Amino acid sequence: MISNSKIPKHLNYVLNLTKSYESYFKKNMESLDINIGEILILLEIYNNEGLNQIDLVKKFHVTEANISKTTKNLLVKDLIIKKIDADNNTKKLLFLTDKGQDACEKLLKIFRNWNDEVIGDIPMDELKAFSHTLSKLSENSLELM
């Protein structure tokens, strides 16, 4: 699907979705002390409490330094805590604090609102097909890394 433009239309669509997502979150999460880069990390801990930083590196395909900095910020903000793994003293596991739990619930509400607005009246079968295509694109793009 390449138009007369030198930039594929689908790239512009993906960028527009990303910009909209970031803008909506920034506008609606002013009361939370969280930046855009911390959202996915915090929500992943919410979904999988007890994971460690290496798990996050693998999940998000970023550097250990990036995850270390982000988790340090979340620790300072009292959104997460680290606990030593009982089975492996060298491993530190990540858990939410009560403040982190509350922040995640607010973030999920913001996401649901954005999602509802963006999806609008798009039929479920189209969304499923789109999700399947996005999954393939994501897998293919990760192979380039």
Residue in the structure block whose two tokens are 């880069």: 37
So what's the pLDDT on residue 4?
Answer: 58
N-to-C CA span, the chain: 24
The verdict on residue 114 lying in a domain is yes
For residue 44, the enclosing domain spans 9-143
The verdict on residue 123 lying in a domain is yes
| 91 sits in which H/E element | strand 88-96
Q: How many domains does the chain have?
A: 1
The verdict on residue 1 lying in a domain is no
So what's the pLDDT on residue 1?
Answer: 46
So what's the pLDDT on residue 42?
Answer: 96
The verdict on residue 17 lying in a domain is yes
The whole-model pTM stands at 0.81
Half-sphere exposure of 80 (CA within 13 A, CB side): 30
Q: What is the mean pLDDT of each run of 10 residues along the chain (145 residues)?
A: 67 89 88 89 96 94 94 97 90 96 94 92 94 90 83
CATH number, residue 66: 1.10.10.10
Q: Are 2 and 8 in contact (CB under 8 A)?
A: yes
The verdict on residue 4 lying in a domain is no
